[in-house]
Amino acid sequence: MNRRDFAKALAFAGTIGSGLWPVARSTGAPLIGTRTGVIVDPVHMQQLQQSFLDLRFGMFIHLNMATFEEREWGDPLLSPELFDPKHLDTDQWARAATSANMGYACLTTKHHDGFCLWPTKTGSANVMQSSYPHDVVRRYVDSFRKAGLKVCLYFSILDLRQDIRARTVTPEKIALIKAQLTELLTGYGPLTALILDGWNASWSRISYAELPYREIYDLVKSLQPDCLVTDHNAGSYPGTALYYTDIKQYEQHAGQKIPADSPVPSQSGTTLQSDWFWKKAYPTSELASAKTIVDEWLVPFNENHCNLILNVAPNRDGRFDDNAVARLAEIGSLWKNTGPAPKVGRAVLITTPDLAAGKPAWASASDEAVGPDLAFDDDYRSYWLADKGKTDGWIEIRSEQPVSFNTISIVEPIHVDGYGDTSRITRYKVEMERDGGWVEIASGGTPAPYQFHEIGRVTAKRVRLTVFGRQPGVTELGLYDEPR
């Protein structure tokens, strides 16, 4: 990135998440205010989610440096000249997707090693330094739009070439990410979704605190209000809730499964070949059967508010192998998109930090070694448990400074080891301290594993959750100040 471009990117990055950025609704109408964040109309969001689900079936396309290395992650130390899909045929990709009756596709614009498939001006390694000096992203979007398919892009937050990894994130590196995303969101027309990866995952370890989620979310929504933001974080936020994503993304290939009767809009990603990136054995290797793809994945998922996105890896010529093309046509002979997907209800989106996480915690009593801090540790595998034999209990957070919030999440540890698969809570209430007394701000009956309350914005130093039932427990009590 030259000095002028870097200064511009850093200045733009500073406006997002600074409190100086003008708040805007998803319709683009500006609002004057000092609160940070693009306000997304929940009704419009539901419409976008429904339109995405109506597409039903999509194609993931993993093409990058790893294609030429017999690896799943490219080596960040190798020369970009290795990238050479000399007979790239994005029209063939689009024809193959159409033959399978797919409605959309997603291309890996930058994978974890940091090589960009477009001519970025940020100074990162890219196609113009390769043996194939052409804009692959441009060719992809043009081919798929010409075929009548919707277009999505994939972008890795983890970037090993630029040393963007856990505990190395700096304002300059965040500015680089924002500059690259700005290029993609302003240079290639409207996107249906942006799929993010390598962020807030156990294996990448770049947290939403170190690299703030809301800054990236606001950038995307300010540039393309109708672009859905989808992060690969189902491993960190399991269950039927939309934490830090507009569409819940399951990596089926890594064993992540959609919960039965999931009410939230979702997408499950897996592979036609054995892995994401092309290998020398692929032209003659076994592929997932068309019957499995249709009968065991696509149709059941569609009935569960979930799209299937099937990865097809181009070879080193930049084309799909003949066996992959034939299998996609076979899928198309077994399945067609016959109409709208089941209607999705409005889901509460969590996009801001949990203000309760890490705060000092108290409880009425606790079972052995399961104290109240476990309900405020941002870990959905741990939980606080009321004392043995009790039919009620409370947990409380206390903050030195007043905390303002307008969204509450209550998560019961159903299906977590040792707790059981059915709810122990018969009812609950949330209270805040005011003028030396307790004021109820939310309540409910037997919750699903995830329960949300959107309330008028309140400010308090002490917040208490009381639960009633058979030795009830809570895995997380969350407080959020969502822009709205």
Residue 62 has pLDDT above 60, yes or no: yes
Tell me the CATH number at 166: 3.20.20.80
Q: Which letter, b or e, does each residue of 76-97 get, where b requires 16 or more Cβ atoms within 10 Å of its Cβ?
A: bebebebbbbeebbbebbbbbb
In a domain, 344, yes or no: no
Are 324 and 364 members of one domain? Answer: no
**Cα-to-chain-centroid distance, residue 127:** 26
Is residue 323 within 8 A of residue 287, CB to CB? The reply is yes
Helix count and strand count (H, E) for the chain: 9, 20
pLDDT reported for residue 270: 97
- Same-domain status, 267 and 372: no
Distance CA 225, CA 44 (A): 10
> Cα–Cα distances in Å, from 3 out to 7, 122, 161, 423?
6, 10, 19, 57
Q: Which residue has the higher pLDDT, 257 or 48?
A: 48
Query: Is the same domain home to 88 and 144?
Result: yes
For 233-243, the pLDDT digits (tens) are 988 887 788 99
The per-residue DSSP string of 364-375 comes to: S--STT--GGGG
Which residues touch 60 (CB under 8 Å, ≥6 apart)? 105, 106, 108, 154, 269, 271, 276, 309, 310, 311, 312
pLDDT > 60? residue 31:
no
- Per-residue pLDDT tens digits for 396-407: 999 999 999 999
Are 287 and 364 contained in the same domain? no
Q: For the whole model, what pTM was predicted?
A: 0.91
Q: Is the pLDDT of residue 418 over 50?
A: yes
- CA 483/CA 214 separation, integer angstroms: 10
Position 451, amino acid: Q
342 falls within a domain: no
Ranges of beta strands (E only) in 198-234 are 228-231
- Mark whether 43 and 135 lie in a shared domain: yes
406 and 319 in one domain?
Answer: no
257 has pLDDT over 80: yes
Share of the chain above pLDDT 90, in %: 85
pLDDT for the residue 237: 87
Domains in the chain: how many in total?
2
pLDDT band at 446 (very low <50, low <70, confident <90, very high): confident
How far apart (Å, rounded) are the C-alpha atoms in residues 252 and 47? 26
The mean pLDDT of the chain is: 91
- The answer to whether residue 255 is domain-embedded is yes
pLDDT at residue 30, rounded to an integer: 30
Q: Is the pLDDT of residue 27 over 80?
A: no
Alpha-carbon span 162 to 145, nearest angstrom: 32
pLDDT tens per residue across span 181-197: 999 999 999 999 999 99
Domain annotation covers residue 231: yes
Asked, for residue 208, whether it belongs to a domain, the answer is yes
CA distance 80 to 69: 12
Mean pLDDT of the region 375-385? 94
pLDDT attached to residue 447: 67
Question: Looking at the domain assignment, is residue 341 inside a domain?
Answer: no
- In this prediction, residue 26 carries a pLDDT of 32
| Same domain assignment for residues 358 and 269 | no
For the segment 259-298, what is each residue's pLDDT rounded down to a tens digit?
878 899 999 999 999 999 999 999 999 999 999 999 999 9
More confident of the two residues 11 and 321: 321
- Boundary-marking domain end, from 273, 300, 334: 334
Tell me which of 304, 334, 364 is where a domain ends: 334
Least confident of 105-114, 156-165, 256-265: 256-265
Q: How many CB atoms lie within 10 A of CB 436?
A: 5
Helix or strand (DSSP H, E) at 223? helix 213-223
CB neighbours of residue 234 within 10 Å: 23
Range of the domain at 407: 353-480
Is 400 within the bounds of a domain? yes
For the segment 130-139, the average pLDDT, to the nearest whole number, is 98
Q: What is the mean pLDDT of residues 211-217?
A: 97
Count of other CB atoms within 10 angstroms of residue 253: 15
Rounded to 5 degrees, what angle do the CA atoms 220, 347, 300 make? Answer: 100
Same domain, 137 and 234: yes
* Domain match, 394 and 259 both: no
118 and 256 together in one domain:
yes
Domain assignment present for residue 325? The answer is yes
Q: Are 290 and 364 members of one domain?
A: no
Tokens 């509460």 -> residue: 348
Task: Please report, for the domain that includes residue 391, its CATH number.
Answer: 2.60.120.260
d(CA 135, CA 26): 30
Longest pairwise C-alpha distance within the chain: 73
Cβ neighbours around 317 below 10 Å, total:
14
Q: Name the residue among 93, 117, 92, 88 with its Cα closest to residue 104.
A: 93
Distance CA 230, CA 217 (A): 10
Kindly state whether residues 317 and 359 are assigned to the same domain.
no
User: The dihedral of CA 466, 469, 474, 479: what is its sign?
Assistant: negative
Indicate the residue among 265, 300, 334 that finishes a domain.
334
